[in-house]
């Protein structure tokens, strides 16, 4: 069987449904050049043009072949969604699936699982990690824990908890800098950067200005978990998300050289549930209450 270019077909389905490359890119949260590349690859694979070459008016238009393929893809995806829904309905009523980022799953969600297991031993909780936002229905997930600015269109969204940002390091690394004044020590330290713009060092220095800080210098990491691991290994100072660093701080693996100083991010985490499960099964409601309770305790 000839292997289908599934990613390119999915991209073209969104191009057909939204009426253009740019709106499809916005829906999929990628660059329009990435969508264009996938469409070109699909055209090469098929051996036919799917999008008309722009004329003087430069209006977007599909070829006859593009229109036929787009209609078939939408119909096929709708059939697939119905099939997924039918399988989902066969899951046990006490089975709940949560999707979230790897960092939030490992550092906030997993340490709290024993509390849920003790209170509700019959609930079967599955965790799906995904670094980017994916549609709840497409993932077969009941709930999502998301970082960032909501709300999102694929579910019922409510803010779960705020976040506190503060510097963390090992005591040995901080002592090795050789400065007693925290501000001077931070100016000499190697800053570890999280590529998440919501966790950038510029947020800290906007509130606590310091001289001679070059934010272009220092290693960068693609997740909050990796930044904290680097700090715990004595590689520098991280600007930590407090909810993710709290275990390392409480155990003494990392410490806060600026004591209680922090920068607050309002509504940093959101709880998202499916619209078609708004009433909620008892197991789902129990998991939601458990998540809210854990968030409330994190905020203390």
Report pLDDT digits (tens) over 258-282.
Answer: 999 999 999 999 999 988 775 678 9
Q: Which domains does the chain possess?
A: 6-86 (1.10.10.10), 89-161+267-298 (3.40.190.10), 163-266 (3.40.190.10)
Counted residue by residue, the chain has a size of 300
Q: Which residues in 30-53 are b (16+ Cβ under 10 Å) and which e? A: eeeeebbebbeebbeeeeeebbee
58 Cβ partners below 8 Å, 6+ apart? none
Mean pLDDT for 46-55 is 84
Instruction: Check pLDDT > 90 for residue 220.
Output: yes
Q: Radius of gyration over alpha carbons of the chain, in Å?
A: 24
Question: Residues 81-99: pLDDT tens digits?
Answer: 766 665 665 567 788 999 9
Q: Which residues in 84-94 are b (16+ Cβ under 10 Å) and which e? A: eeeebeeeeeb
19/54 Cα distance (integer angstroms): 14
Instruction: Check pLDDT > 80 for residue 237.
Output: yes
**Residue pointed to by tokens 């197991």:** 283
What are the Cα distances from residue 165, in Å, to 4, 21, 127, 261? 45, 37, 26, 9
Q: Return the top range by mean pLDDT from 143-152, 205-214, 235-244.
A: 235-244
29 Cβ partners below 8 Å, 6+ apart? 132, 133
Instruction: Check pLDDT > 80 for residue 52.
Output: yes
């Amino acid at each position: 069987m000839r292997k289908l270019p599934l990613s390119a077909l999915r991209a073209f389905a969104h191009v057909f449904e939204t009426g253009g490359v740019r709106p499809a890119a916005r829906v999929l949260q990628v660059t329009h050049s990435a969508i264009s590349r996938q469409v070109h690859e699909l055209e090469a694979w098929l051996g036919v043009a799917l999008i008309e070459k722009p004329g003087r008016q430069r209006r977007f238009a599909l070829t006859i072949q593009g229109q036929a393929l787009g209609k078939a893809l939408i119909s096929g995806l709708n059939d697939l969604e119905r099939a997924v829904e039918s399988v989902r309905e066969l899951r046990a009523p006490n089975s709940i699936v949560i999707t979230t980022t790897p960092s939030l799953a490992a550092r906030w969600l997993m340490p709290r699982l024993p509390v849920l297991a003790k209170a509700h031993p019959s609930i079967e909780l599955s965790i799906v990690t995904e670094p980017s936002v994916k549609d709840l229905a497409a993932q077969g997930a009941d709930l999502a824990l998301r970082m960032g600015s909501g709300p999102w269109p694929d579910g019922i969204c409510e803010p779960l908890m705020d976040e506190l940002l503060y510097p963390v390091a090992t005591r040995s690394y901080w002592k090795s800098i050789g400065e007693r004044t925290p501000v001077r020590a931070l100016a000499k330290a190697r800053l570890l950067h999280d590529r998440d713009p919501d966790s950038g060092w510029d947020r800290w220095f906007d509130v606590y200005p310091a001289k001679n800080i070059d934010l272009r210098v220092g290693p960068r990491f693609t997740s909050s978990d990796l930044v904290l691991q680097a700090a715990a290994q004595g590689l520098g100072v991280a600007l930590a998300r407090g909810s993710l660093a709290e275990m390392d701080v409480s155990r003494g693996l990392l410490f806060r050289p600026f004591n209680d100083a922090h920068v607050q991010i309002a509504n940093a985490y959101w709880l998202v549930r499916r619209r078609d499960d708004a009433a909620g099964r008892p197991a789902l409601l129990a998991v939601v209450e458990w998540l809210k309770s854990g968030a409330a305790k994190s905020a203390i």
